[in-house]
Structure 1
Amino acid sequence: MTSPSKNPIDRYSRTAVILHWWIAAFIVGNLALGFVMIRIVPLAMRPILMPVHAWIGLTVLLLTVARIGWRLSHSAPPTPYSYKTWERGLARAVHALFYILMLALPITGYLILSANPPNPAWRLMFWGIIHVPYFEPLQAMEPVSQKIVHGRFVFVHLIGAFTILITLILHIAGVVKHQLLDGDDILARMMLKKRAD
């Protein structure tokens, strides 16, 4: 007979699982692209890579809004009873921080572009199709003030990027701990259920 801790597995809904993995893939990809853009490729390549970075960021924003909407209308599965009190608290804090950063990073990225001096190379076309206008109050600022504001948004954006990287590492470490050390099949909660089940 299977122990109650292993059966049944409380899974997230199909929509929640799909949103989770798409958002995760875009975040990891965009962190890598941001690093490549800042540290590896020549400055002349930025006008080519920046639109892709921005498109992915806006995609994360839209998917995050969709995920929040789905979460508000659909209950998440209960936290496994094997979790200690501090683990439950840490998991909630990490998830809350993820949501904040998944909203804040794309928004600050958009504000960074809005506070740039007008330049056709930085025209924001969502996936090359839909024109996204910049935030007009930032576009209309005088150059000196605009440069200061731009620098502040860049700073916040970079801090957010490092924070979400650390949060991601904590999240993965937690999954590894519960999956391998504690023997909880935690990954199954965020996997699509097989049709044969």
Structure 2
Amino acid sequence: MNYSDNKTLIHSLKKGEEKAFIYLVDKFSQRLFAYALTLTNDKDISQDILQNVFLKTWEKRNKINISTSLQNYLFRSIYNEFVNQYNKKRATMRLEHSYFKALDNAIEIKDENSFAKIIEHITEEIQRLPPKCREVFILSRKEGLTNIEISNYLNLSIKSVEAHITKAFSTLRKNLGERVDISLFMLFGIYDNTLNRD
């Protein structure tokens, strides 16, 4: 059976063929986990989301209704499961509803490689930042350190830390365009209000 053909794979899933489900898991696990990780920044939560999506896909296989592509359907399922878990763990995930609306506009994946290309492009732009600026930005946005913690860790004044972060966002906004906030949210799970300022 040629499961690499989406129509064949979907048809086989609806028929309850376990080999089709195993193929689905093998093919999409890695990229879906990577996507979930960009939303949660937590491996355990991401794994839970992934397992729940695959479980629900199998349980509801007879009702699968895909209007775009199987990959888009699965990415959307990951996003929906993330929102469900966020609603249950609102206090620990610390995200605002506006973030979801913003991310929702950027979630449609045009092809199998586009998401990876987006992440690659963002990462490249971050690596092009001046060394100290890049270090401060990553400590702040990826590692989640406060400005005071960064100040103590790097032996910089708080004003210098703030200046580096502002410069980083300004540079990234210039190079990535107006949707930089969405891009950074997809990569780090963060959103910064400074991005909306003129």
Q: TM-score range by the shorter chain?
A: under 0.3
Structure 1 length as normaliser, TM-score?
0.27
Q: TM-score normalized by structure 2?
A: 0.27
Q: Compare relative contact order (CA 8 Å, sep 6+) and give the higher one, 1 or 2.
A: 1
